[in-house]
């Protein structure tokens, strides 16, 4: 069975929904226009319950099947990114400085397509809980929804999500059981020295040299402190200091990201970074403060639920178009919080050869929306079949 016929018939509607959402990108938890549009569509479809205001602008729609049964959760993220758009399309962002550069407009359209189908047909037992989530790109809207008791409130037993994947052939699926995406932490280092004339460095305590020393020493965490078989990335991504050629500044700032899978590796990185910052500060005669922020946890797919999701994906895309064990990557995803709360799986859906995610010329491929919507719908029908 390929794309569900009825959902294929929604293709133009899904395209229109997606392109409308593309024009109104909103950030983090503040998604009033997006949430209003999604809620209006869900009411039109005739969902049985619509619970708004979860994590500020998130919502959960409940669709009842025919007969008693468990509740399966399907999630789409809705937020955009603070990136000026350069696509040149006639439905480009109407909000200057923001755009849907990660395809969350498409994810939302796919879940709306599944919602319309499930509300019409109801060929399943139990309930489907459709989760429309804000703030995936920042803050962690999934964490907030879980902390607000969403899983318990709606008795969700398992949960699934999709993300589009530029570079993966159009309509193909890829996932892996177990660790799929990394935990992400952020570090900030604030260095306080004593500035002065560039020609008289002996009268200063130079924060520029201290920042260079710290940035280089931090790289030894990967090369000298961790086991080579444990995936780890430590990247210094910003150094800000100084304003002109003949002045040694008072301060410097370092920022970067850490990606891990193993909590013990994460602890080691945090410990070593504290030691390096303190040691380098002492050696250069400056003061330094490390602010190490624990971010999204690693995304772990339940093995059993992933095997089930792979079978559904093969039904939609075909046996040869699904990669069931595609390995893990160092990107991060806040759906990890939902997978910590309930078993489930996260899959990538190929959107072909397009600009990459978070690129100003990225645009979601509307051609894959019926594929994703069909996947969501068949997950529900196969997980909770009538007569099963």
Which amino acids are annotated as binding site for Mn(2+), given as ranges?
102, 104, 137, 163, 358
CB 64 within 8 A of CB 321: no
**Number of Cα atoms under 13 Å in the Cβ half of residue 215:** 19
d(CA 265, CA 263): 5
CB 131 within 8 A of CB 76: yes
d(CA 230, CA 259): 11
Q: Using alpha carbons only, how large is the chain's radius of gyration in Å?
A: 24
C-alpha torsion 136→346→131→87, nearest 10: 50
Q: Which residues are annotated as a binding site?
A: 102, 104, 137, 163, 358
Token reading at 213 = 């020393």
Query: Among positive and negative, which fits the CA dihedral 286, 287, 293, 298?
Result: positive
Q: What is the DSSP letter of 356?
A: P
d(CA 189, CA 288): 7
d(CA 94, CA 39): 21
Among the listed residues 105, 102, 111, the one whose alpha carbon sits nearest the alpha carbon of residue 159? 111
**Residue 199 CB neighbour total at 10 angstroms:** 8
Token reading at 257 = 């990201």
**Number of Cα atoms under 13 Å in the Cβ half of residue 263:** 4
d(CA 237, CA 117): 45
């Amino acid at each position: 069975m390929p794309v569900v016929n009825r959902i294929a018939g929604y293709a133009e509607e899904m395209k229109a929904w997606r392109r409308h959402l593309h024009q109104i990108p909103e950030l983090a938890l503040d998604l009033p226009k997006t949430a209003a549009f999604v809620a209006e569509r869900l009411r039109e479809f005739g969902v049985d319950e619509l619970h708004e205001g979860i994590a500020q602008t998130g919502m959960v729609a409940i669709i009842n099947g025919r007969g008693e049964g468990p509740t399966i959760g399907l999630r789409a993220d809705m937020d955009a990114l603070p990136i000026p758009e350069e696509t040149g399309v006639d439905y480009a962002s109407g909000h200057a400085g923001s755009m849907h550069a990660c395809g969350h407009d498409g994810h939302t359209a796919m879940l709306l397509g599944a919602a319309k189908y499930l509300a019409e047909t109801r060929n399943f037992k139990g309930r489907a809980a459709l989760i429309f989530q804000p703030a995936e790109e920042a803050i962690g809207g999934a964490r907030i929804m879980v902390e607000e008791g969403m899983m318990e409130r709606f008795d969700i037993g398992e949960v699934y999500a999709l993300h589009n994947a530029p570079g993966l052939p159009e309509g193909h699926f890829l996932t892996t059981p177990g660790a799929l995406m990394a935990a992400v932490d952020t570090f900030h280092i604030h260095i306080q020295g004593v500035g002065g004339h560039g020609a008289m460095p002996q009268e200063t305590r130079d924060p520029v040299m201290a920042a260079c020393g710290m940035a280089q020493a931090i790289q030894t965490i990967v090369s000298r402190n961790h086991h080579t078989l444990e995936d780890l990335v430590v990247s210094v991504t910003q150094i800000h200091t100084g304003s002109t050629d003949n002045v040694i500044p008072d301060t410097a700032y370092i920022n970067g990201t850490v990606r891990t899978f193993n909590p013990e590796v994460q602890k080691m990185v945090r410990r070593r970074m504290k030691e390096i910052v303190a040691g380098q500060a002492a050696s250069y005669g400056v003061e330094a403060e490390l602010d190490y922020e624990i971010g999204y946890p690693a995304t772990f797919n339940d093995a059993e639920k992933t095997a089930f999701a792979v079978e559904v994906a093969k039904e939609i895309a075909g046996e040869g178009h699904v990669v069931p064990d595609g390995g893990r990557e160092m990107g991060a995803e806040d759906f990890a919080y939902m997978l910590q709360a309930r078993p489930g799986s996260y899959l990538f859906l190929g959107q072909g050869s397009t600009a990459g995610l978070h690129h100003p010329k990225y645009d979601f491929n509307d051609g894959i929306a019926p594929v994703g919507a069909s996947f969501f719908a068949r997950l529900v029908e196969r997980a909770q079949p009538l007569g099963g």
